[in-house]
Structure 1
Amino acid sequence: MWLSVLVGVVGLVVGLRLWYRTLSGRCVSSASMRGKTVIVTGASAGIGLHTAADLVKRGARVILACRNLEKARRVADELRKGASDGGEVVVKHLDTSDLASVRRFAQEILDTEKHIHVLVNNAGIYAPEERQVTGDGLEVTMATNHFGHFLLTNLLLDRLKQSSPSRIINVSSLGHKMPTSLDTDDLNLQSESYSQMTAYVKSKLCNVLFTLELARRLQGTGVTANSLHPGVVHTDIMRRRANSFFNLLLKLCISTVSKDPALGAQTTIHLAVAVEVEGVSGKYFADCKEAPTSSLGRDKDLTRKLWEASEKAVKLTPGEAH
């Protein structure tokens, strides 16, 4: 009896995994990226690594913007082996949780790169078990997943405009649909009861709202901005979760029924290269198709409030603001 139950459970899990992976979207574009310069944040592992690998194979000059330089250099050596059609790999240091690091990275890019055709804001963390604050006084999840990318994008916008048509891609999550509210006066999560999940999903909602407001501000410039859900993906973010009962259960579910990082990168790659999304802006994608956001993720008044609060949080100067 127990053997039959076990076989049934295994069969169900395998079936769900095959079903999910079969239905997952894949980038079918064969577009070349030769002559294009692309920045991918958090490119030393997971979705970012596989995004970079694909774009290098298409001939792009790909800048790996990573916190761990030693790891990024090892990754770069491997990516160069698969480079073709003029593809290049450059490694630069970037810690999106540190505003000074973001400013240094952006200035170095502006000093050395004449063009930026694609900016992939991919770096992200799952929230720590206890609330943590960066040296800038920002909650670390919001700093890494939202504020750092908000600042970076603003600092590079002029170069992106000069390189148009160009694209900004923000990696969000289906988790953005979980919050029922977002207090833009409390983005550092000081007033409400803190939890890992709350910090993470609110940061992902900020990715969606930021994209919508960014697209509105960029109308007519030739620069597009879109966000995406990569799918349920088994990456290093999952392995770094604390081993609470809930997280262990979540890890088990995701490890058995999930995409691998290469499959999880497909929507990012699609938005970076596909001809059919040229000129498409302010949208949210999943499995290489446009998808609906939550009602909160479409709140235009909230996008404006988030932008203004983010400008204050990162201390955006008049010369940096757009």
Structure 2
Amino acid sequence: MIKNKYVVAASVIGTVIGGSILMKDYTGGGLCPSKATVEGKTVIVTGANTGIGKETALELANRGGRIIMACRDMEKCENAAKEIRGKTLNHNVFAKQLDLASTKSIKEFAKSVLKEEKHIDILINNAAVMRCPHWTTEDGFEMQFGVNHLGHFLLTNLLLDKMKNSGQSRIINVSSLAHVLGDIDFEDLNWEKRKYNTKEAYCQSKLANILFTNELAKRLQGSGVTTNSLHPGVASTDLGRHTGMHKSAFSSSILGPVFWFVIKTPRQAAQSSVYLAVAEDFQGTSGKYFNALKEAEPAPQALNEETAKRLWEESAKLVHLDEALQECRQ
């Protein structure tokens, strides 16, 4: 009987580990298959001082790009930029202030970049906050919706003219598989009427990333600029620092060994952004969603064209897009 228990236990453990490895492989744990470089191209990566964003910046710096690391914490960003310059011997890696929780900061960043850069070839909207307490941005937006969606919505629109003039530019929006649980509540986008739910708010913001991408792709048709969204895979970063699982001793000690087989390193998770940024095969690809290195079908609610259009209109009102565009064009 005892022997049988050990056999069953070993079988269960083997099944879990085997399934985890298969799951990790399915979500694209490999490296970017394209060897293309980005020499002569200007790349902006938001949230680039740590995690997936930092690894994305490092990879694209290795491929010869002029990298602008757009971050809120300038001390960490400067240190990360210095580290990347040292590792890649690419001296065209720069740290630049950008706080996506402030429309003022976003406009200042955009004005500076538009003035200083001759062209913008790749914009990777990577920065995010996940399941934080019920905080609000400087402008009063719910933090996750404000940073993850509205901040990138405003930033992208302010840089669009320059990107159109740059020729065959690419916009990459980092979403999440969490979008499948998302719902856009147009009556309460900022969670002012409902009891705040950190998970639902995060899922809403990640669904918004894909809806924004799809509507933007429609508006960019014929411009030479493409945009796609992606789920990078679950990675071991500090993004989940506000979640109970991140703080759980059980998760760390008991589930940790299993998670090792499932969760990607930041370098692995960065490969999808790199792939969409450099691969020649994606030159004309736009309005698509990728699960790591493979094109995938997003949740049905992410394909609703009416929702995408309305979200664009509501977002434009919230960030006063017309006024912001006029300000940046002066």
Distance, in Å, in 1 between the alignment partners of 2:195 and 2:289 is 29
Give the Å deviation of 1:259: 1.1
1:259-298: CA deviation from partner (whole Å, max 9, x where unpaired):
1111111111110000111111111011212110111101
Aligned to 1:196: 198
CA contact (8 A) 2:215 2:309 kept: yes
Aligned to 1:284: 289
Q: Work out whether 1:100 is the aligned partner of 2:104.
A: yes
Aligned to 1:266: 271
Tell me the secondary structure at the aligned position of residue 109 of structure 2: helix
Q: Work out whether 1:239 is the aligned partner of 2:241.
A: yes
Distance, in Å, in 1 between the alignment partners of 2:245 and 2:102 is 27
Aligned to 1:82: 87
Any gaps of 5 or more consecutive residues in structure 2? none
Any gaps of 5 or more consecutive residues in structure 1? none
Aligned to 1:47: 52
CA contact (8 A) 1:56 1:79 kept: yes
- Supply the AA of the counterpart residue of 2:86: K
Aligned to 1:118: 122
59, 66, 80: which one aligns with 2:64:
59
CA contact (8 A) 1:56 1:82 kept: no
Structure with bigger helix share is 2
Give the Å deviation of 1:312: 1.1
Aligned to 2:180: 177
Aligned to 1:205: 207
TM-score of the aligned structures, taking structure 2 as reference length: 0.89
CA contact (8 A) 2:131 2:242 kept: no
1:227-269: CA deviation from partner (whole Å, max 9, x where unpaired):
0011122211123424699997598575552111111111111
Distance 1:316 1:108, change over 3 A: same
Aligned to 1:127: 131
CA contact (8 A) 1:57 1:87 kept: no
Give the Å deviation of 1:95: 1.1
Distance, in Å, in 2 between the alignment partners of 1:90 and 1:313 is 30
9, 16, 20: which one aligns with 2:23:
20
TM-score of the aligned structures, taking structure 1 as reference length: 0.91
Give the Å deviation of 1:132: 1.6
Distance, in Å, in 1 between the alignment partners of 2:259 and 2:248 is 12
CA contact (8 A) 1:127 1:140 kept: no
64, 69, 77: which one aligns with 1:72:
77
Q: Work out whether 1:220 is the aligned partner of 2:214.
A: no
Give the Å deviation of 1:9: 5.5
Aligned to 1:156: 159
Tell me the secondary structure at the aligned position of residue 265 of structure 1: helix
Give the Å deviation of 1:20: 3.0
CA contact (8 A) 1:230 1:287 kept: yes
**Greater CA drift, 116-125 or 307-316:** 307-316
Q: Where do 1:129-148 residues align within 5 Å?
A: 129=133, 131-148=134-151
Aligned to 1:304: 309
Distance, in Å, in 2 between the alignment partners of 1:43 and 1:256 is 25
**Identical counterparts, % of pairs:** 44
CA contact (8 A) 1:212 1:282 kept: yes
Distance, in Å, in 2 between the alignment partners of 1:260 and 1:206 is 25
How many residues are matched? 319
Distance 1:13 1:261, change over 3 A: farther
Give the Å deviation of 1:97: 1.2
Tell me the secondary structure at the aligned position of residue 320 of structure 1: helix
1:178-199: CA deviation from partner (whole Å, max 9, x where unpaired):
12x3222321122233211001
**Greater CA drift, 154-163 or 21-30:** 21-30
1:100-153: CA deviation from partner (whole Å, max 9, x where unpaired):
111111111011111100000000010223x22222010011111000000000
Tell me the secondary structure at the aligned position of residue 322 of structure 2: coil
Tell me the secondary structure at the aligned position of residue 317 of structure 1: helix
